[in-house]
Amino acid sequence: MPDEAALRTAGLGWRWRALVAGRVALAAFGGYGVAALATAFLSLALPMARSEAVATATLLSFAIMVGAVIWVFSAHTLSRAALGLAVPSTLLAAGLWLALALVDTAPPA
């Protein structure tokens, strides 16, 4: 563990720990957030019957979350990792907002 050792010997163990904690929090909450937004968006946007779209989106959501977590821990810096989640989250949130406005989800009368 080269950089951990470097940070520790430089008396920066606390900084390393804070960075790790930041990645863990980003992976857990950010990763879940991206997956949840993708599920909500795809459930409305996929061109298939509504129940089929929900099933497909929900099945995919866990792969999306795992991909996001791997990204968070492989990015070079914490801020890059955060940016990499923020961009798709923003796009998905905008798409979801549009889809909620356009798709009729009212229960049948």
Partner 1 sequence: MKPGFRQSMAWLHTWAGLVTGWVMFCVFVTGTATYYRADISHWMRPELQAAAVEPGVAVERGAAYLKVHAPKAVAWFVSVPQAERPLLDVYWFDSFETPIRQATLDAGTGAPTTVRATQGGDFLYRFHYELQMMPGLGRWIVGASALVLLVALMSGIVTHRRIFSDFFTFRRDKSAQRGWLDAHNVTGVLALPFHLMITYTGIVTLAFTLMPWGITSAYRGDELRFFVEAGQSPAWRAAAGRPADALPLAPLMARAQAEVSEPLEMAIINNPGDAASTVVAVFEEPKGLAHRHPQVVFEATSGAVIARFGTLKPAAHVFTSFLGLHEAHFAGPALRGLFFLCGLLGSATIATGLVLWAVARAPKAGAVPGFALSLVRGLNLGTILGLPIGIAAFFLANRLLPVAMNERATWEGAVFFAAWGLAAMVGLARPYARTWREMGAAAALLFLSVPLVSALTTDRGLDFAGFDAAMIAIGLTLAWGARKVSHYRGPARLRAATAPEALARA
Q: Is 97 in the site for partner 1 (CB under 8 A)?
A: no
Q: Are 73 and 27 in contact (CB under 8 A)?
A: yes
Tell me how far apart the alpha carbons of residues 71 and 52 are, in angstroms, rounded to a whole number: 28
Q: Is 92 in the site for partner 1 (CB under 8 A)?
A: no
Q: Which of residues 27-66 bind partner 1 (CB under 8 A)?
A: 35-37, 39-44, 48-59, 61-63, 65-66
How many residues bind partner 1 (CB under 8 A)? The answer is: 42
Sign of CA dihedral 60, 84, 98, 35: positive
Which residues of the chain form contacts with partner 1 (CB under 8 A)? 1-3, 23, 35-37, 39-44, 48-59, 61-63, 65-66, 69-70, 73-75, 96, 99-100, 103, 105-107
